[in-house]
Amino acid sequence: MKKAEELLEVIPQLHTFKKFGRVVRVVGLMIESQGPVSAIGDVCRIHLNNERKNDTILAEVVGFREEIVILMPYTKISDISSGCLVECTGKPLEVKVGMELIGRVVDSMGNPIDQYPLPKGLSSVRTEQDPPSVLSRLPIQEQLAVGVKAIDGMLTVGNGQRVGIFAGSGVGKSTLLGMIARNTTADLNVIALIGERGREVREFIERDLGPEGLSRTIVVAATSDQPALMRIKGALTATAIAEYFRDKGMNVMLMMDSVTRVAMAQREIGLAVGEPPATRGYTPSVFSILPKLLERTGTNEVGAITAFYTVLVDGDDMNEPIADAVRGILDGHIVLDRTLANKGQYPAINVLKSVSRLMNHIASPEHVRAAEKLRELYYTFNKSEDLINIGAYKRGTSKEIDDAIDFEPRITTYLKQSYKDNIRMEDSIGELISLATGGGTR
């Protein structure tokens, strides 16, 4: 009887007919179709007319122009011809998620790219979801260890915090993400590689992540040669996977490299559908999609997503539009400095330009005081470095500068760390406090 009642509830929701349209035009990346009736975000199947290929291509509705439906394909469009049937599925993109997915590498649509089929028993989740309600977000009170001294000691991250890693190209963003993924105390890692070169995906998995890191990680890869829509979906899919495990009560670490390429992909789509370019060529939709994406992470009533988003700054300009917009949304930023990298300091974190907005709330007073003292000494040395190097400063003139000169080699040594090292958070904080309360002798 119960099954009969369930069937009666389901029957009115069934569609007794399919909605079809026809391709009338293809311009660049966009496909124009006469019909079918659909909504923004709906997935459509385009049935190919090619006699040699009885196949379909998936596309997504991205806009409308009068009676014309504008679609963007998830794959290449070389086989699409005029008159191809367009079938609307009536629902947005969904991906398969479950515990069995841990240790796997998938694409933007959740399909495996590691030569093994998806396991059975996975659940379907929508890639686009609303952020948690503001009142359902629990306050961040716990520290989360990432195994990097400069971050755990000077830029302590909370469980559920969202942090940006800002750097130019080739300064060590991917290597730093690999360190965090291997060393973090989070229950699970979800890593989104968006817009990467094809060869870098395997190199990151094998070299930076390693078997140990991959065993507790799900990797979502969307390389630079894929359509703009696939790059955006890669970010959304990774976020949806992280949300699934957060809702299971887990503490998830989400790492996205890079959010800049997500913005570039959205700019491509915006320009293709006719949006006017606004700030430095970026369309208005770019600045509306960023908060929708970044606000989905963080805490809710049962779990937390701690997120690290890399931002590829153009010409090391930290005030370019995407960097400025992302910095205003997140709960802190870590700046990788090319000058420090050229000196051989790794990780090349400029602690004077970086900040964790939650450190004062989650770290002990002794820890905060020690970090503030070392930051002050490091700033004093950097401000006076030119005078010191040319011999214009004489010891004894300023006690502050004398102390900074004595402490600088020890601070630099503290901030350095091999990418293979995993240092416990307690040891990082203990060494920091010992350094701040110890002498300034070399």
Question: Which pLDDT does position 365 carry in this prediction?
Answer: 93
Across 331-345, average pLDDT: 89
Place of tokens 């997140």: 330
pLDDT over threshold 50, residue 441: no
Predicted confidence at residue 440, as pLDDT, reads 40
Taking only the tens place, the pLDDT of each residue in 30-82 is: 889 988 888 888 999 888 876 555 688 889 998 888 888 999 888 877 778 88
Q: Is the pLDDT at 12 greater than 60, yes or no? A: no
Please give the DSSP secondary-structure letter assigned to residue 101. Answer: G
Residue 438, token pair as written in the block = 């110890």
What are 334's strand-pairing partners?
A: 165
Task: Select the highest-mean-pLDDT range: 206-215, 275-284, 320-329.
Answer: 320-329
Residue range 150-198, pLDDT digits in tens: 999 999 999 999 999 998 877 888 889 888 988 888 999 999 999 888 7
d(CA 281, CA 283): 6
DSSP 314: G
Query: Is-cis flag, bond preceding 284, omega within 30?
Result: no
CB 370 within 8 A of CB 437: yes
Q: What are phi and psi of 72, to 5 degrees?
A: -125, 130
At 349, give phi and psi (nearest 5°): -85, 120
Can you name the residues that pair with 19 across neighbouring β-strands?
88
List of E strands, 183-278: 188-196, 217-223, 251-257
Q: Per residue in 117-153, pLDDT tens?
A: 888 888 899 998 888 888 888 899 999 999 999 999 9
What's the pLDDT score for residue 419?
83
Where do we find the tokens 């439906």? 69
Check residue 52 and give its pLDDT.
53
Per-residue pLDDT at 429 = 93
Beta pairing class for 105-106 and 217-223: parallel
**Residue 328: which H helix or E strand, with range?**
helix 321-329
pLDDT at residue 238 is higher than 90: yes
3-state SS of 406-441 is HHHHHHHHHHCCCCCCCCCHHHHHHHHHHHHHCCCC
pLDDT at residue 168 in the model: 84
Tens digits of per-residue pLDDT, 349-387? 999 999 999 999 999 999 999 999 999 999 988 888 778
How far apart CA 210 and CA 341 sit, in angstroms, is: 23
| Confidence at residue 442, expressed as pLDDT on a 0 to 100 scale | 40
Q: CB under 8 Å to 344, separation ≥6 — which residues?
A: none
Residue 340 DSSP symbol: H
The closest alpha carbon to 146, from 352, 423, 345, 412, belongs to: 423
Residue 316 is predicted with a pLDDT of 65
- 8 A C-beta contact, residue 85 and residue 20: yes
Tell me what the mean pLDDT of segment 249-256 comes to: 93
